[in-house]
Structure 1
Amino acid sequence: MKPTVYITRKIPEEALEIIQASCEVKMWDKEDTPVPRDILKKEIQDVEGIYCLLTENIDAELLSEANNLKIISNMAVGYNNIDVEAASEKGIMVTNTPGILTETTADLTFALLMAASRRLIESSDYLREGKWKTWSPMLLTGQDIYGATLGIIGLGRIGEAVARRANGFGMNVLYNGRSRKMRAEEELDISFADKETLLRESDFVCVLTPYRPETVNLINESELALMKSSAVLVNTSRGGIVNEDALYDALKNGEIWAAGLDVFKTEPASPDHPLLTLPNVVALPHIGSASKHTRLNMAKMAADHLLQGLNDEVPAHLVNEVRV
């Protein structure tokens, strides 16, 4: 008898076919609409597998309803949407999709850095709104990227990929994380710095650290106050790592130059979010990994993890310790 799984959102057909070949599938198929919690609460009761996105909050309360659940396959690198401890207590495997989106997210990170520093969105709007009347020597001037100092907070796979891109721009790269990475320092010609030094010396600061209890509000008033008034902050990790109220004040008051944001504390962000009122903010709707190739491969990887767990195999990217 085939195991029953629940998919919380429409996924690419190629990934769906992988699952349907081995499982009885139920799926929330409303386009671009997260599954309501009451429906997920009902569906989780009897299924053996859940295939979810980061939009689903699978907490201890929800997991208490799971009677036969063996695996939660999360189509994302981050998994702070899942109470991993509660899942582990019930012997439920949790997987994510790391590595596959590294280069795509690094591309987006560097694109945000460039767009914010050179005022690309602001300049495009200036042209489209008919404000361009003549050439002017200081019109829409931004910050130089080539030869500048880049500070990377969180040197994981994506952080290293961003550092490689920075090398092509002749940038001096500093990084900070939980530990030094001597191999990366040698290969990428980068230097470890404590967080305060990194913030003081960097022209650009990229936040790429995972979301954990200790990284909530990692960038707050005191950290922003250390940065240069010409500095650009880029966040493509998770919204809660940067205190949005503090960032708004710093940008509005000219304490830092600009920000490029792909993530927000609450998603989707409201159109009247204070940060979206500022001209020196380039904001995107969490599209860091949004290339067709990458998203398709993420979907297929999550499908493979789901089947591995259902077959009592150790999935390729298991994030918790569970006896299989």
Structure 2
Amino acid sequence: MSYTFVGLLGVFPDVGKHFRLPLNQAKKVLISTNDVPMIAIELLEARYNTVVNDINTKESLLAKVAGVNALFCSAKVKLDIDIINAAGAQLEMVGAMSAGLDNIDVEELKRRNIKISNTPGVLNAAVADIAVLLTLAAARRLREGRIHIENNTWTSNHKWMLGRDLKGSTVGIVGLGEIGQAIVKRLKGFEVSQFVYCGHREKLEGKELGAEFLTFDELLSQSDFVIASCPLTPETKEMFNETAFKKMKRTSVFVNIGRGGLVDQTGLIKALREDTIFAAGLDVMVPEPLSSDHELVKLPNCFLSPHLGTATYQTRSDMAKLTAQNIIAALSGEKLITPV
């Protein structure tokens, strides 16, 4: 027999090919998608009767969720009341492998006293990096430049393809949470003149970063760059609409790394077409995936990234590990690491 020691758990999950130490085989965990990093599957299989959903559809989840004690939830299928009902009264924990919870019926879970966790913190750096990438790409017209290369229309003169500078600019952060703060810290190296932010209240972290608290409208009118890093809620849904874009500078750049639903895309498309704003950089959009013939794809002043904010090997592994650890804590009667 061959033994593999997992120090984190203090168990031997593999003894030969088919044996698992049954720490609590009475507990059942369902992983909602088949593409999560193996570290999560291994951590959970070592302790519980763990089932991995092989088809990422609601129908497949409904067929497998009955009787589970915990659900490892990815963002690919919305966790709604149908799935919660199908799970049964013994469901005690939902671990979300994401920071955002807009894909989960949080209120229904809380009404039933079902514990919930998410994965804040471990993804901040990766998402902030994407925000910087999109900001620079949109400001310096990377998509438009690539189009000129592909079309053999590269021109050399001093007025061709001029972009916008971060140096000396005002950057507005809509949602100064942990990700928003990480974005500010990264952009400080670009000699930004001023950072401003808006939200429900002024934050101590904002003062520590030297950022000024403004209303949403003030931020829109004063910022050269507007970066959306807030969660999607009924309050923030489509907050960036035609009216909002008209309040921005014609020279401004809009970046969204929050959720696609923050933006009224019809309003954004109109603003980009009519040069109401200079450019946009989007990592999130509606729907996802976006079709190749969508209007956003056709706009030369819109730089798109296919929701890659957390898409690094280390970040996804850390998110999966934290989700599994929260489930283990819940099923062991311990405090969650990152409760909602």
TM-score grouping bracket, smaller chain normalisation: over 0.9
Greater shift after overlay, 286-295 or 8-17?
8-17
Partner residue of 1:184?
A: 206
What letter is aligned with 1:43?
K
Partner residue of 1:97?
A: 119
Q: Secondary structure at the match of 1:215?
A: coil
Give the Cα–Cα distance (whole angstroms) in 2 for the partners of residues 150 and 309 of structure 1: 41
Residue pair 1:74, 1:96 contacting (<8 A) in 2 also: yes
For residue 309 of structure 1, report the CA deviation from its aligned partner: 1.4
Partner residue of 1:275?
A: 296
Q: Which has the higher contact order (CA 8 A, sep 6+)?
A: 1
Residue pair 1:166, 1:173 contacting (<8 A) in 2 also: no
Aligned to 1:7, which of 13, 31, 37?
31
For residue 271 of structure 1, report the CA deviation from its aligned partner: 2.0
Residue by residue over 1:233-266, the C-alpha shift from the partner in whole angstroms, topping out at 9 and shown as x without a partner, is 0000011111111101111111001100011132
For residue 113 of structure 1, report the CA deviation from its aligned partner: 0.3
Q: How does 1:79-158 map to 2 (within 5 A)?
A: 79-132=101-154, 134-158=155-179
Matched, 1:18 2:40: no
Q: How does 1:1-324 map to 2 (within 5 A)?
A: 1-2=24-25, 3-9=27-33, 10-29=35-54, 35-67=56-88, 68-132=90-154, 134-171=155-192, 172-185=194-207, 187-319=208-340
Residue pair 2:237, 2:262 contacting (<8 A) in 1 also: yes
Residue pair 1:59, 1:83 contacting (<8 A) in 2 also: yes
Give the Cα–Cα distance (whole angstroms) in 2 for the partners of residues 308 and 23 of structure 1: 12
Residue pair 1:44, 1:69 contacting (<8 A) in 2 also: no
Q: Secondary structure at the match of 1:25?
A: strand
Instruction: Kindly report structure 1 stretches of 4+ aligned residues shifted beyond 4 Å.
Output: none
What letter is aligned with 2:140?
R
Give the Cα–Cα distance (whole angstroms) in 1 for the partners of residues 259 and 339 of structure 2: 21
Q: Which runs of 5+ in 2 are unaligned?
A: 1-23
Q: Secondary structure at the match of 2:148?
A: helix
For residue 286 of structure 1, report the CA deviation from its aligned partner: 0.8
Residue pair 2:143, 2:301 contacting (<8 A) in 1 also: no
Give the Cα–Cα distance (whole angstroms) in 2 for the partners of residues 81 and 4 of structure 1: 23
Give the Cα–Cα distance (whole angstroms) in 1 for the partners of residues 296 and 153 of structure 2: 23
Q: Which runs of 5+ in 1 are unaligned?
A: 320-324
Give the Cα–Cα distance (whole angstroms) in 2 for the partners of residues 121 and 11 of structure 1: 31
For residue 104 of structure 1, report the CA deviation from its aligned partner: 1.2
What is the number of residues matched between the two proteins? 313
Greater shift after overlay, 123-132 or 297-306?
123-132
Please tell me whether Structure 1 or Structure 2 has the larger radius of gyration of its CA atoms: 2
Residue pair 2:206, 2:212 contacting (<8 A) in 1 also: no
Give the Cα–Cα distance (whole angstroms) in 1 for the partners of residues 69 and 246 of structure 2: 49
Give the Cα–Cα distance (whole angstroms) in 1 for the partners of residues 323 and 31 of structure 2: 11
Residue pair 2:143, 2:302 contacting (<8 A) in 1 also: no
The alignment yields a C-alpha RMSD, in angstroms, of 1.4
Greater shift after overlay, 73-82 or 136-145?
136-145
Residue by residue over 1:148-193, the C-alpha shift from the partner in whole angstroms, topping out at 9 and shown as x without a partner, is 11011110001111111222112111111111013431x2111111
What letter is aligned with 2:171?
L
What letter is aligned with 1:6?
L
Residue by residue over 1:257-296, the C-alpha shift from the partner in whole angstroms, topping out at 9 and shown as x without a partner, is 1100011132222222221111111111111111111111
Give the Cα–Cα distance (whole angstroms) in 2 for the partners of residues 137 and 293 of structure 1: 42
Give the Cα–Cα distance (whole angstroms) in 2 for the partners of residues 239 and 183 of structure 1: 26
Cα gap change, 1:62 to 1:15, in 2 (>3 Å): closer
